[in-house]
A = this chain, B = another copy of it.
Amino acid sequence: MSLMPIGRPALCAPGLEQVVAAQAALRRRNPLVQCLTNTVSANFVANALLAVGAAPAMVDNTQEAALFAGIADAVLVNLGTPTDAQAASMALAAEAGLAGLGGGARGVDSSTDPADAVPASVDLLEHATAVSASGLVDHAVGRVGEAGRIVLVRIAGGSSLLPRVTATGCALGALVAAYASVAPDPFTGLVAAHVHFSVAAEIAAKAASRPGSFAPAFLDALDAVDEDALRAMARIAAPEAP
C-alpha cells in the first residue's frame, strides 16, 4: 500500500494525458530519489529508478537520512527498514490496527484483493492526499478539485510474474516517490507511477515467461516505456466514486 503525504488535491482525476505529461517530466528532470529501504531490495530498487530516468540514492539506515534532506527531490520510506521481517510485522500491525482489514497477510505480501482495501484506503485519506493498493488491478484513491472530492481510479495491466520476483513491490513504491516529485500533485504522481509500472510489466511479460528472465526484461521495459507505449497500452478506468 502506498501513501502519499498531505499535499494539494489534483485539479482533475488523473487520466492518460496527465500520466503522459508526468512521464515526460520525469525523463526531463531526473529527480534524485532518496530511498530508505532494505538489503533485499536495495539493488533492484536502484536499478528500477535508473531505468525510469530517476537518480537513486540508497540509504539503509534511518540515522543518515538527514544528510540528503537538502538535495533530494523525493524520499521513499519503505517500512521494510531494516528487515523484511519487520516490514511484515508492520504490515500485519497496519492492516489489523490502522485500517481494520484483518488477515490475509503472508510473508511480506498480502493476499487481500486490492478492491477490498478501498474502504481502508479512503479512511487513510484523513492522513494522506492519495492512497493506492496494488494487485491484479491497482486501486488508487485521492482528492480532486477545490472541494477535495474523493475519487477512485483503477489501473489494470501488470503481470502474474511480478509477485514471483522479489522487490518489485518496493520498486513500485520507488516509482511513486519519483513521480510524486515531478507531477503537479501527489494523486497524479501516484497514478502515473502505477500506469508506468503496469505497462512495463506487460511489455516484459511478452519477452519473458519465467521469473529469472522477467527481472531484467522488466528493467528493460521500465526504460522502454515512452509516450507511445503509454498511449497504446495504458489501461486506466474512468474515475468513479469509491
Q: Of B50, B59, B65, B211, which contacts A211 at CB under 8 A? A: B50
Bound complex: CA A155 to CA B223 (Å): 28
Closest to A55 in B: B107
A210 neighbours in B (Cβ, 8 Å): 51, 219-220, 223-224
In contact, A217 and B213 (Cβ under 8 angstroms):
yes
Chain B proximity of A203: nearest CB distance (Å): 11
The interface on chain A, measured as residues whose beta carbon lies within 8 A of the other chain's beta carbons, has a size of: 54
Interface residues of A (CB under 8 A from B): 32, 34, 38-44, 46-47, 50-51, 55-61, 64-65, 67-68, 82-86, 88-89, 106-109, 163-167, 210-213, 215-224
Select A212's contact among B85, B88, B164, B215, beta carbons within 8 Å.
B215
A220 interface neighbour in B51, B55, B211, Cβ under 8 Å: B211
26 contacts between A and B (CB under 8 A): A38-B60, A39-B39, A39-B42, A39-B43, A41-B43, A43-B43, A46-B167, A47-B166, A50-B211, A51-B212, A55-B106, A58-B84, A58-B85, A59-B84, A60-B83, A61-B83, A64-B86, A67-B88, A67-B89, A68-B85, A68-B88, A210-B219, A210-B220, A212-B216, A212-B223, A215-B216
